[in-house]
Every structure is written in C-alpha cells, then in structure tokens.
Structure 1
C-alpha cells in the first residue's frame, strides 16, 4: 500500500517499536497493534493532505538516476536548490520516492470487489 510509506519515518518506527513492546508484554493483542498502525497510516496521510499549506519548489542541476517499479518512481538528483518564499537551500544529492496513492487505493478497492 502506498499510504504506508510514512511507517519508515522516525515517528512510524517509534510507534511500531512501542506497539511491539506492548504485544510482547501481553498488554495488547497483535490485532490491536495492526489496527493502531492502520489508524496511523490514515491519520498521517490526512494530516499531510489537509493541514500542510506551504509550497516548496525545487530546481535540479542533474538527474543522476531514475527508476519506475511497482508504481513507485525513484529519482536521485544532484545539485538541487529548494526554495520556499525567500529561503533558498542548496543540497548536493536528493533521493525522491513518489507513489501514486490514488491508483493504489483504487486497485485495493477493485481487489475487494
């Protein structure tokens, strides 16, 4: 699922580790742990879609590599400039991973039918 991408963030890993400790100590069931992670997926995606209002633009000096596999694009860019209003940040190397969340959700819905 594309919307599980944020489980690999610091907050996602920390939540999973905490839930694993609760499961191993018998405080919660594995099923409840999975339900909490699904709720995390929904909440983080909703927050990013509805609460983040800032816009960021970037200009890449060079596209080093790109790949498309399983509906996921991966780009590695060199000499990238990020700009938000007046602030400019220059980065030597950036990796961008892009998933088509809408088509993945549509595929999931189609598999259920």
Structure 2
C-alpha cells in the first residue's frame, strides 16, 4: 500500500475529477476507478524519489508543533524563510508532512 497524500496535488485532484466523470457517465465501474487511484499512488511514490532533484533550504523562527503517528511526521513551523539560489520567500506558517520513502516502508 502506498501513501495517498499525493492525491491532494493538482494532478491527483484532476485525475480524481476525471475518474468521477467517467463513473457518472457509466464508462467505468467503481472497481476500476479504485484500481486507477491505487496505481496512481504506487506510481507517484515510486517515481518522485527518482526524478525530484530540486533542493531548497529553509529556516523557521519557531517550531510550533510536531507529532509522529504511524511513522508519519507532521511539523508546524512559523515565520519561515525559503532560500534557493539567492532568491528568498517568506511565509507566516508552514505545515510539513514527512513519510518514510523507502520501498515497502509504508503499512
């Protein structure tokens, strides 16, 4: 089973909308829709570590909250500054969700 958090991305939401339309029109059964979303989860979780090479640094004034549940870390930071090649971006609040990316690590 792969993490499903990437379904909240623009690509994931668009896929879900398209699948819902196909189901409403009777073009695909619900079982196929489920399999398609599962395949999306597996593919994204497999490909991202191989293809995502961008690096960015950030610094936060304060760690507001942190927790770990089922091997998933959630961090809430405030007054965050991102830096990438001498370009800076400041935001008030940032939520980071971090999961174990090793193959077979998720339950």
Would you call these one fold, judging by a TM-score over 0.5? yes
The alignment's C-alpha RMSD in Å is: 2.0
Q: Is the 2:59–2:82 Cα contact (8 Å) retained in structure 1?
A: yes
The correspondence of residues 20-99 of structure 1 with structure 2, limited to 5 A, is 20-99=20-99
* Stretches (4+) displaced over 6 A: none
The structure richer in helix per residue is: 1
Task: Tell me how far 1:18 sits from its aligned partner.
Answer: 1.4
Query: By how many angstroms is 1:2 displaced?
Result: 5.0
Structure 1 contact 23–29 (Cα < 8 Å) conserved: yes
Give CA deviations for 1:66-92 in whole Å, capped at 9, x if unaligned: 111222111110111111122111111
Unpaired runs of 5+ in structure 2? none
What stretches of structure 1 of length at least 5 have no aligned partner? Answer: 109-113
TM-score with structure 1 length normalisation? 0.80
Query: Does the CA-based 8 Å contact 1:2-1:100 persist in structure 2?
Result: no
Aligned residues: 107
Distance of 2:53 and 2:72 partners within structure 1: 25
Q: Secondary structure at the match of 2:4?
A: helix
Tell me, in whole angstroms, the C-alpha distance in 1 between the residues paired with 2:72 and 2:52.
23
